[in-house]
Each structure stands twice: as structure tokens, then as C-alpha cells.
Amino acid sequence: MKRNLAPVHPGEILREEYLKARNLTVTEVAKGIGIARANLSAVVNERAGISPELAVKLSEAFGNTAQFWMNLQKNYELWHAEKKVNRSVIRHFSQFDSGLQVL
């Protein structure tokens, strides 16, 4: 993922496109999907990510797929990992460096 602009946190999408757009509160949605208000609040306020279980619950509640929510989370995390990892210090291994003999 080679881009300079960071992807939006999935919590922002949830907050803006699903809660605000439907006039829903964090409390109402948390109760409706069976999780603690504090946990949903942490996601909506971008302090926590979306777990697979939460992705399933959100997909059921909002009529989309769990994959949609997981892709948002994965793209967000991967972009940040790409910025964090120093690739220049990583050793490259080819199939011939493994020490295994191919018969």
C-alpha cells in the first residue's frame, strides 16, 4: 500500500456515515448490538479498532458485510505499519538461502 494519505480510521466511518447520518447515538447502537457503550465509544473516538466480532455485529446492524469493516481496519493498520517499519534493515531471503537442499 504505497500512498501518502493515511486511510480514515474505521471509527470515523462508523461515526460519520452510520451514526451521525442516521441520527443514532453510541449508547443506542452499543445496546442494539450487545456491547458495552465504552467499547463502541473507543472505536468511534478512534482509540480502538474493529475486531472481527464487532465487524460481524456491525454488518448485521447496518446491512453490509463484516468484510467491509475488516477491510477498513486492515487498510488502516497496514498503512501505519508501512510507515513504521524500516525496510532497509530487513534481510532478504531467496529460495536458495534457506539451507534446504532441493532434490
* Helical H segments across 1-103, by residue range: 10-13, 26-33, 37-44, 52-62, 66-84
Question: Residue range 38-62: average pLDDT?
Answer: 98
Q: Which of 54, 62, 59, 52 is nearest to 18 (CA)?
A: 62
- pLDDT tens sequence across 59-71: 999 999 999 999 9
Dihedral of CA 60/66/70/71: which sign? negative
| SS3 state of residue 83 | helix
User: Distance (Å, rounded) from C-alpha 35 to C-alpha 60?
Assistant: 14
**pTM tops 0.75:** yes
